Amino acid sequence: MDEEKIRDLSGGVNQRGVRNYNERLLLTMLQRSGAQAGIDLARKARLSPQTVSVILRKLESDGIVERGAPIRGKVGKPSIPMTLAKDGVYAIGMKVGRRRADLLLLDFHGKVRAQVSTNYSYPMPETVFSFLKDGLDTILSDLPERMISRICGIGIAAPFELWRWHELVGAPARKFQSWKDVNFAEEVAKFSDLPICVVNDSTSACHAEHLYGRGKEFRDYGYFFIGSFVGGGVVLNDTVFEGNKGNAGAFGSMRSSGPMGESRQLIDVASLHVLEGRLVEAGLDPQLLWAQPQDWSALSRYVDPWIGETAQELSKAALSICSVIDFEAVLFDGAVPPAVRDELVERVRRYLVNQDTRGLIAPRIEAGSIGGNARAIGAASAPIYSQFFLNVNAGLSAV
């Protein structure tokens, strides 16, 4: 697909305008609870059956919802459940990571339809946006026109104040500082007319878990994502809370202590860059951590101690966030193999037993379910959410 065709994309499903409140309400109910009959939606939404019927017919006509198989009862007409049309809406999501960027196409059910990735030493602006342009071309070139016309936007998940990374990754400060003046929307507008949403990367991962993972099991929970740098998210009343500047759940900045009692942050002691540094010291290639599919079995000598130390820090962090909000649960996920994540969660549970819980109610400690793709999936969900669903606490920066 050439650049002109990419530029012509302006969001086919977006051309009809953003869905109104009642449409969003019904779509949100279908997303959260699955297929439901119109009469059930009307009762739960406190709308008249006639109003719901009119809305559903319009959404079906627009290709946003579709009918499921009729459910026959003992008497009367069969009930016809409505569900989100898996091909009704698509979105592009990109995650900007420390060593790797991922670009994917997400459908209305949260399934990844296509994905491309790239590795780099440092995520410089020219590298990231060149990858986005070329990756978008690669993904779209294999799609039929009917799918392309239903792409509603591009979501980008990037760390808060990305330009400050030079302090941790060692890139030349002057060159890396150029991120401070980057306007994501302006850069993407050079090759695409699709709407853009920019989201904090860890909050984006929390969105993915909330929409497509275990987030439906809990009303209020804290969420930790262990990537190159640990981060997190906050869910209150079944809604991802993004905060005043979109930086709620910045758990990586929580205070910790070094071996000599020096002041440190959680990001310094519970992140993958700690493990990466140990591999470098041992003369091993740290790219082993990011290779796909992930297999860390040959690194157990270094991974096992990292799990133990990280779990101790995360158990303290889990209790700390519960001193502010009485979370029902705390979920942990990350860019790690599932077996490593599960062992980390089990260790956190064990360490939590020995923590000082005076005045606190210890939360359930649970594993997330999305994995390393969570940030890119959450990024793709941003334009979908901003146009089709309700999220009263959302602070998405849509442009």
> Hey, where are the domains in the chain?
3-11+88-204+376-398, 13-84, 215-369
Note the pLDDT of residue 331. Answer: 98
Q: Measure the CA–CA gap between 399 and 390, rounded to whole angstroms.
A: 18
State the fold for domain 215-369: Nucleotidyltransferase; domain 5 (3.30.420)
Q: Which CATH number fits domain 3-11+88-204+376-398: 3.40.50.880, 3.30.420.40, 3.30.70.1400, 3.40.50.2000?
A: 3.30.420.40
In 3-state terms, what secondary structure has residue 67? strand
**13-84 is classed CATH 1.10.10.10:** yes
Per CATH, 3-11+88-204+376-398 and 13-84 having the same topology is answered: no
Residue 110, sorted as left (phi over 0), alpha (psi -120 to 50) or beta, turns out to be left
pLDDT at position 334 is 97
Residues composing the chain = 399
Helices (H), 107-165: 125-141, 145-148
| Overall pTM > 0.85 | yes
Cα-based distances in Å from 98 to 149, 168, 289? 32, 10, 12
State residue 101 phi and psi, 5-degree precision.
-120, 140
The encoded tokens of residue 368 equal: 């997330």
Q: Which amino acid is at 189?
A: A
Half-sphere exposure of 291 (CA within 13 A, CB side): 9
* pLDDT for 76: 62
Going by their DSSP bridges, the two strands 329-334 and 364-367 should be labelled as parallel
For the chain (399 residues), the mean pLDDT of every run of 10, in chain order, is 51 52 94 94 94 96 92 73 96 94 97 95 91 96 93 94 66 76 93 94 96 94 96 94 89 85 90 95 92 90 97 96 96 97 97 92 96 97 93 43
Check residue 361 and give its pLDDT.
92
Amino acid 34 reads G
